[in-house]
Amino acid sequence: MDITLDKKDDQLSAILTVNLKEADYAPAVDAKLKDYSKKAQIKGFRPGKVPATLVRKMYGKGILADEINALLGKAVDGYIKENNLKILGEPLPVPTDVNFDTEKEFSFPFELGLLPDFELPADQSITVDRHKVELDEATLQETYEQIERQFGESTNPEVSEEGDSLYGKLKKGDEEGEGRPVLLPIKKVKNGADKFVGVKPEDSITFDLKETFDGDSAALASVTGLSKDEAGAVEGEYVLHIEKINRTVAAELDQELFDKVFGKDIVTSKEEFDAKVRETVQQNYDREADNLINRTIIDKMVENTTVQIPTEFFKKWLVRANEGKLTAEQVEEHYEDYEKELKWSVIRNKVVEEQGLKVSNEEIVDRTMQKILGQFNMEMTPELEESVRGFADNFLRQDNGKNYVQEYEAILAEKVVENLRGKVVVNDNPITAEDFRNQNAG
């Protein structure tokens, strides 16, 4: 067997050709034909007595094609590994005319996309900003209101009062159709709140949407479901057709509520409850800030790392790999996103290789167990450990181990970003929780 590699001038793609002679595949084909002869059941012949010439005539071409395909797969994979070629995706077979009836020697070309080596940015050469979120009283008050709504008693009165929320359909005054469903808390109205008090289901209210919320695009986005940019551009009168009035009687700050929110006897006093609420909210914002800086680090690494991509091959491979799901036109439309994702993938793989990053089975199981406990708002105890581990093992085996692979990839990705985080300059910028929400709203 002869294998050649012809790199194109750009060194980013190549044609790998596998040249087969009869001696390369004949022994395997002959062995398979003999096996077929022993097992074939053909009318007029006793089992095991079918002539080899008849078996070859009936099955020879199919067996030859199967054996050559298997031989090609091993040959191509072996060549790539032996020569340490870094390729993009998989080799793409180049269409060729093959006649298995008359030819004895064959040439099969494959197109490869090559990924040349590259260097990561020097340590401390990239600077990123991290939001250090500071809780403000408005955010804490909003959290308590959410708790009161979630655990309080809900009713649907006939007439609205201050503090109620109006559910209905909102549309621009001259717009056709019903409009979009919205939930409008009256207490969020900054101008003309009296318009929304004393109304009933089936009433309609006409008002200047922008003026009602004093031009606050974050509040407008929250109420209407529009993006922050869309909400900031609203003008003119809107109509809210009321379908239902929602009223919540706040839950009492007692042990029953403490247990519902944080679990049995986790907190046992108002002071402990306040401290736990503050701690939990702070942790949530810290986690959001960490997620944001992780995405920023990924973006900065992609922007500041020169990775040569075999563009034409990549586009062709995307279409082939997603046959029936992705067209060449769709690839062109979203190519920048695909290229960014590819660049991050090769950067991540380089970090894993250079830093020797690994994920152990125990890490995967422990992470899954913590997720299960989190779903039920529980903490690990010796009594729970065995049953939770059993749930985790069962979850990780589902879908032929797909969940296991997903957890592995998630942990590895976190380790990569954490490693890179130690190689960039991180500046902490204090910001209130309200400003953080507004800045990162839709």
pLDDT average, residue stretch 13-31: 92
Q: Which CATH class is domain 264-439?
A: mainly alpha
* Adjacent-strand bridge partners of 131: 429
**Nearest-angstrom CA–CA distance, 248 and 23:** 83
Return the closest-CA partner of residue 426 out of 167, 128, 226, 214: 128
Among 3.30.9, 3.30.360, 3.40.50, 3.10.50, what is the CATH number of 153-249? 3.10.50
pLDDT band at 49 (very low <50, low <70, confident <90, very high): low
Q: Which region holds residue 421: left if phi is over 0, alpha if psi is between -120 and 50, else beta?
A: alpha
The 8 Å CB, 24+ separation contacts for 412-418 are: 412/352, 412/357, 412/359, 413/348, 415/357, 415/359, 416/348, 416/351, 416/352, 416/357, 417/294, 417/297, 417/298
CA distances from 136 to 139, 217, 430, 432, 436 (A): 5, 20, 12, 6, 11
Q: Is the dihedral of CA 384, 386, 390, 396 positive or negative?
A: positive
Residue 212: name the closest of 229, 242, 196, 189 by CA.
189
Highest mean pLDDT among 171-185, 191-205, 229-243: 191-205
> How confident is residue 316, by pLDDT bands cut at 50, 70 and 90?
very high
pLDDT of 41 = 67
pLDDT of residue 48: 67
Say what the pLDDT of residue 219 is: 86
pLDDT at 209: 93
Over residues 33-62, the mean pLDDT reads 73
Closest CA to 282 of 427, 132, 144, 148: 132
pLDDT at 333: 95
**Is a pLDDT exceeding 80 seen at residue 45?**
no
Is 254 a residue whose pLDDT tops 80? yes
- Name residue, tokens 């960039």: 424
d(C-alpha 309, C-alpha 346), whole Å: 10
Q: What is the dihedral of CA 283, 284, 287, 291, to 10 degrees?
A: -170
Q: Is the pLDDT of residue 288 over 90?
A: yes
Q: Band of the pLDDT at 60, cuts 50, 70, 90?
A: confident
> Whose structure tokens read 């009594």?
383
Half-sphere exposure (Cβ direction) of 234: Cα atoms closer than 13 Å: 30
Task: Check whether 314 has a pLDDT greater than 60.
Answer: yes
| Whole-angstrom distance, CA of residue 314 vs CA of residue 58 | 41
Q: In the numeric block, which tokens belong to residue 122?
A: 């020097």
Q: To the nearest whole percent, how much of the chain has pLDDT over 70?
A: 97
Give the pLDDT confidence score for residue 222 in this predicted structure: 85
Residue 297's pLDDT is 95
- Look at the block and give the residue holding tokens 């309080």: 152
- Return the pLDDT at 167: 96
Contacts of 209 (CB under 8 A, 6+ apart): 170, 220, 224, 234, 236, 237, 238
What's CA 177's distance to the chain center, in Å? 35
Q: Is the pLDDT of residue 360 over 70?
A: yes
**Distance (Å, whole) CA 123 – CA 125:** 5
3-state secondary structure 34-83: HHHHHHCCCCCCCCCCCCHHHHHHHHHHHHHHHHHHHHHHHHHHHHHHHC
pLDDT at 418 over 70: yes
The pLDDT of residue 373: 87
- Name the least confident of 19-28, 220-229, 331-340, 346-355: 220-229
Domains of the chain by residue range: 2-113, 153-249, 264-439
Which of 19, 25, 16, 20 has the alpha carbon at shortest distance from 83?
Answer: 16
What confidence score (pLDDT) does residue 441 get? 62
Alpha carbon 441 to its chain centroid, in Å, reads 20
First to last CA, the chain: 59
- Topology at the third CATH level for domain 2-113: Alpha-Beta Plaits (3.30.70)
Q: Is the pLDDT of residue 278 over 80?
A: yes
Q: Among the listed ranges 49-53, 103-107, 206-210, 331-335, which one has the minimum average pLDDT value? A: 49-53
Q: Greater confidence, 379 or 308?
A: 308
Q: Where does the pLDDT of residue 204 fall: very low under 50, low under 70, confident under 90, or very high at 90 and above?
A: very high
Q: How confident is the model at residue 199 (pLDDT cuts 50, 70, 90)?
A: very high
| Mean pLDDT for all residues in the chain | 90
**Rounded CA gap, 396 and 401, in Å?**
6
